[in-house]
């Protein structure tokens, strides 16, 4: 089955710096890669996702890149702010657009990001 590895497990940056979190996956059939942010004691919140037909996606200070050949994808946060401090999880799944979808997400173990003011 699918296996997702995530690095680093902890990341500390200075406010205003960039943060990069990397994930690799094992199943070449995986085609959907979301990223979730989880604050302490709260629910995971979807912050950005990418499908395998796209190499890069950006939403304000957040971007995700995907390399299908190497089977890895990365989250990039620019101009980090203290409120970006949280645990970030990457995930992978195999989905279809119309029917036949498996849907369950396989998560990485998470990266605890600390942004120091």
Name the residues that contact other proteins, by CB under 8 A: 6, 32, 34, 36, 42-46, 49, 51, 89, 93, 95-99, 101-110
In the complex with other proteins, the residue whose CB is nearer, 43 or 69, is 43
Of 25 and 89, CB closest to other proteins: 89
Closer residue to other proteins (CB): 14 or 43: 43
Give, in order, the Cα–Cα distances in Å from 105 to each of 6, 19, 74, 94, 117.
14, 24, 17, 8, 33
- C-alpha–C-alpha distance, residues 9 and 37, integer Å: 14
For the bound state, the minimum distance from the C-beta of residue 92 to other proteins, rounded and expressed in Å, comes to 11
Map tokens 């195999």 to a residue: 94
Q: How far is the CB of 79 from other proteins (least distance, A)?
A: 26
Inter-residue contact 103 to 34 (CB < 8 Å): no
């Amino acid at each position: 089955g699918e296996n997702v590895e995530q690095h680093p497990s902890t990341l500390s940056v200075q406010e205003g710096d960039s943060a990069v979190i990397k994930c690799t996956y094992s199943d070449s059939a995986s085609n959907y890669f979301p990223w979730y942010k989880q604050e302490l004691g709260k629910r995971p919140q979807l912050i950005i996702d990418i499908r395998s037909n796209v190499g890069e996606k950006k939403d304000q200070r957040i971007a995700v890149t995907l390399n299908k050949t190497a089977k890895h994808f990365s989250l990039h946060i620019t101009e980090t702010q203290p409120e970006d401090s949280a645990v970030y999880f990457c995930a992978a799944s195999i989905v279809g657009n119309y029917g036949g979808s498996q849907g369950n997400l396989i998560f990485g173990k998470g990266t605890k990001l600390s942004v120091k003011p």
